[in-house]
Amino acid sequence: MSNYVEMWKELGMDLETHDALCQVLPTAFGDMYLSQENRPEGMGFWDFVVSEIHGIRPSELIEAQKNGQKVFGTFCVYVPDEVVLAANGIVTGLCGGSQFWVPGGEKVLPKSTCPLIKASVGARLERTCPFFRIADMYVGETTCDGKKKAWEILGQDVPMHIMDMPQMKRPQDIEKWADEIKIFAKVVEDFTGNAITPEKLSEGIHVINERRKALKRVYDARKSKNIPISGKDALLMMQIAFFDDPVRCAEMANKLADELEQRNKDNVSVFPAGTKRILVTGTPMAIPNWKLHHLIETSGAAVVCEETCTGTRYFENLVDETKTTLEEQYAAIADRYMGINCACFTPNSGRVDDILRLAKEYDVDGVIDVNLKFCCLYDTEGYTVEKAMKDAGIPVLGIETDYTDEDAEQLRTRIEAFVEMLG
């Protein structure tokens, strides 16, 4: 990635520290990804993106900014990309998936904050993430205590808009979310200088729906008895979807889906017959957090579905495209997003329903419920999830982990025992 040094310098990044990250990432990726056998050819695109992760997309974003577009950095699948697109804005994910950034976050946040939040804040404050340097505005939400309070610290450093999530899902809460979306739309209009019209919003909705459909095609292909793609590869596609141009993302996912569907016809599998099928549920896995998937897939099992924000929650359910007024469109967007079953809601019984449904659809042998350390929401909800799995006779393993490697061998022992028990 060395030909991007000038760009990083201009972004005001801490080059020396960032260099340490650039040195370890290719090795980690090589060990975990490139060592896999018989990968789909379609993964070549994402391999390339990873090889230039802090270079290629950032340089596109900078180019777009030069042409007058604004870049919005977001942290959560509840922030509606449609609205940003409608004002000719661009949405990008932000760094947060590596232990590399955690100590920087711990300088201002309690140690007992989840690693995702600590890494995000650290990546910004330590100036080692180009996306965090590029974005013109940051859009936070009140989905959890840790993020909600972290925005106050981040907000001293960058312009932030916060969307207030309702914490329940009654009809009035969905209306409230529609109101929040309207407020956000106004902020986006003012910030970009572009008016959002029903036509523009319609286009935005369509683009994001097409991305959803494409990602879902890849996931649907994973329901096959053979396993056409590793969980790790599918996870990589999802992780990069948060950063990529949505039209290209859909195009690449559709191309991959074509290949996977052909593999299913040809009964091609990347795992030996009889490999146990695992559904992973729980907290999100931001790039380059591949730890759990790698452990599972080198312990005799395969991940065939992720019920996470970097999984089905990102693409399930479409926004109704038949609405023609802004008012109706915002309501339709609110409806779709409030269908996401995040543990931030009380109650969140829809998530258990989702897991049970997905376990059947993906024909899984067991469920691994993973919690990023100090995520109070998913940790507490784990009690309900694991109880529901036991009641349904689905083997379940609850795991808590962070971004360090310290617990890797202990986790491997537990995962191996779990997979063996499935046999």
109 binds a copy of itself (CB under 8 A): yes
Least distance in Å: CB of 152 to a copy of itself?
5
- Angle at the Cα of 420 from the Cα atoms of 270 and 38, rounded to 5 degrees: 10
176 binds a copy of itself (CB under 8 A): yes
20 binds a copy of itself (CB under 8 A): no
The position carrying tokens 């590869």 is 233
CB 42 within 8 A of CB 259: yes
190 binds a copy of itself (CB under 8 A): no
Residue 178 to residues 8, 75, 175, 212, 324, Cα–Cα distance (Å): 38, 19, 5, 20, 16
Q: Look at residue 111 and give its three-state secondary structure.
A: coil
150 binds a copy of itself (CB under 8 A): yes
Beta bridge partners of 163: 141
Q: Residue 79 and residue 85: Cα distance in Å, rounded? A: 12
234 binds a copy of itself (CB under 8 A): no
Q: How many CB atoms lie within 10 A of CB 245?
A: 18
CB 73 within 8 A of CB 137: yes
414 binds a copy of itself (CB under 8 A): no
Q: Which residues touch 372 (CB under 8 Å, ≥6 apart)?
A: 114, 115, 116, 282, 283, 284, 378, 400, 401, 402
Q: Residue 228 and residue 41: Cα distance in Å, rounded? A: 11
206 binds a copy of itself (CB under 8 A): no
- Contacting range for a copy of itself; rule: CB under 8 A; set: 6-14, 151-159, 292-300, 332-340: 151-159
159 binds a copy of itself (CB under 8 A): no
404 binds a copy of itself (CB under 8 A): no
Tokens standing for residue 421:
């028990």
Closer Cβ to a copy of itself, 83 or 144, answer by number:
144
Q: Residue 269 and residue 260: Cα distance in Å, rounded? A: 10
Least distance in Å: CB of 187 to a copy of itself?
13
Q: Residue 145 and residue 375: Cα distance in Å, rounded? A: 9
142 binds a copy of itself (CB under 8 A): yes
110 binds a copy of itself (CB under 8 A): yes
407 binds a copy of itself (CB under 8 A): no
Tokens standing for residue 277:
């099928």
Closer Cβ to a copy of itself, 176 or 213, answer by number:
176
Q: How many residues bind a copy of itself (CB under 8 A)?
A: 42
Q: Which of 35, 112, 410, 413 binds a copy of itself (CB under 8 A)?
A: 112
Least distance in Å: CB of 178 to a copy of itself?
12
Q: Look at residue 367 and give its three-state secondary structure.
A: strand
Q: Which of 35, 38, 172, 267 binds a copy of itself (CB under 8 A)?
A: 172
93 binds a copy of itself (CB under 8 A): no
- 338-357: contacts with a copy of itself (CB under 8 A): 343-344, 346-348
Closer Cβ to a copy of itself, 71 or 375, answer by number:
375
- Contacting range for a copy of itself; rule: CB under 8 A; set: 42-50, 57-65, 143-151, 333-341: 143-151
Q: Residue 184 and residue 84: Cα distance in Å, rounded? A: 9
Q: Which residues touch 160 (CB under 8 Å, ≥6 apart)?
A: 137, 138, 139, 140, 151, 154
151 binds a copy of itself (CB under 8 A): yes
Q: What is the contact surface with a copy of itself in residues (CB under 8 A)?
A: 108-110, 112-113, 142, 144-146, 148-153, 155, 162, 164-168, 170, 172-173, 176, 179, 343-344, 346-348, 373-374, 376-377, 379-384
